[in-house]
Amino acid sequence: MIRVGIVGGTGYTGLELLRLLCGHPDVQLQVVTSRQEAGAAVADLFPSLRGCTDLRYLPPQRADLKGCDLVFFATPNGTAMTQVPDLLTAGVRVIDLAADFRLQDKKVWEQWYGQPHACPELLAEAVYGLPEVNRERICKAQLVANPGCYVTAVTLGFLPLIETGLVDLKRLIADAKSGVSGAGRGVASHTLFCEAGDNFHAYGVPGHRHGPEISQNLARLAGQAVELTFVPHLVPMLRGIHATLYAELKRKDADLQALYLRRYADEPFVDVMPPGSHPETRSVRGANVCRIAVHQPQGGRRIVVLAVIDNLVKGAAGQAVQNMNLMFGLPETRGLAAPALVP
């Protein structure tokens, strides 16, 4: 059994981790921490987990994280980097669901996250946790940086086009929408029901933290810099990411459907849909899967790729469990095979 700890088990991603790990046959939950809820029973705070765990939240300073085989950080940005070095020295493996280790350039990280990085020496050591790209490295990793939710959908949608050099790298557009849970569980006026309900708007147009992360991914795939326009939107739904991606083909005769089917043929959590499909966010709700459809309107040079994920599962906790499975030599789909929740 893998002895697991969760730091920050009261947010939406922490709750989703608890839900998935409580049903994982190879995991023993050892400890869950929370500063605000210390002493409370997990199942009292989240009745959905009644009968699944008898753990109580511990304050971080009392938690024996070094007694775990793996620790997940489901914490705000800037928290994991203060604790990870000691855990790695103790031989504990770590998956960070926040952004502390996603960007390899220290200056870029500090520019976008507005604070000094506590352990920049680990940025090069951290393995970026997108299994469809880094599977072999994840298997051997001590520290995994779980990708952002927008980033997962956009990267998987663009990936086959970028890898094969079929598109103009200066004309990439990602128009992406997220459900309100992507903003986290904290109270903010823009996520209140009366503000987010019956409403739809873009945000972060001048720049969003996931922008440099997406560009970093695509540049690695391309072997050169890319020019990306990324615009996120908030939509009045609980879960889900819908990314509409645009690119310009260098030639019009490529069989795009065959390209995507071939690239993702052996990927258990990427579903390339039939030609003409329009994937819906509800088709992935609660499931660790990315559904993709590729279109070439009027047979022209502009490609439209549609990619949907559940931001809390393939966009966060599910992908983290997928990475854990790889790190400990388990079947990649272990504990993640449940289909989506519909309706």
Instruction: Return the pLDDT at 190.
Output: 85
Same domain, 158 and 296: yes
pLDDT in tens, the chain (343 residues): 999 999 999 999 999 999 999 999 999 999 999 998 999 999 999 999 999 999 999 998 899 999 999 999 999 999 999 999 999 999 999 999 999 999 999 999 999 999 999 999 999 999 999 999 999 999 999 999 999 999 999 999 999 999 999 999 999 999 999 999 998 888 788 888 888 889 999 999 999 999 999 999 999 999 999 999 999 999 999 999 999 999 999 988 899 999 999 999 999 999 999 999 999 999 999 999 999 999 999 999 999 999 999 999 999 999 999 999 999 999 999 999 999 999 8
Instruction: Return the pLDDT at 261.
Output: 98
Same domain, 113 and 24: yes
Nearest-CA neighbor of 241 among 231, 249, 233? Answer: 233
Structure tokens at 117: 């990085």
Instruction: Return the pLDDT at 14.
Output: 96
Q: What CATH number is given to the structural domain containing 75?
A: 3.40.50.720
Task: Specify the 3-state DSSP secondary structure of 299.
Answer: helix
Boundary-marking domain end, from 62, 91, 125: 125
Q: Does 159 fall in a domain?
A: yes
Q: Using the structure block, give the residue that is written with the tokens 């599910």.
A: 318
Same domain, 196 and 291: yes
Instruction: Return the pLDDT at 260.
Output: 98
Provide the number of structural domains found in the chain: 2
Q: What CATH number is given to the structural domain containing 217?
A: 3.30.360.10
Could you confirm whether 68 is annotated as catalytic?
Answer: no
Instruction: Return the pLDDT at 231.
Output: 98
Query: Domain range for residue 45?
Result: 2-125
Q: What is the pTM of this model?
A: 0.96
Instruction: Return the pLDDT at 187.
Output: 73
> Which residues contact residue 192 at a Cβ distance below 8 angstroms, ignoring those fewer than 6 apart?
none
Q: Provide the H-helix boundaries in 2-116.
A: 12-22, 42-45, 84-89, 106-113
Same domain, 8 and 48: yes
Q: Does 332 fall in a domain?
A: no
Same domain, 167 and 269: yes
Please pick, among 68, 119, 149, 290, the residue that the annotation labels catalytic. Answer: 149
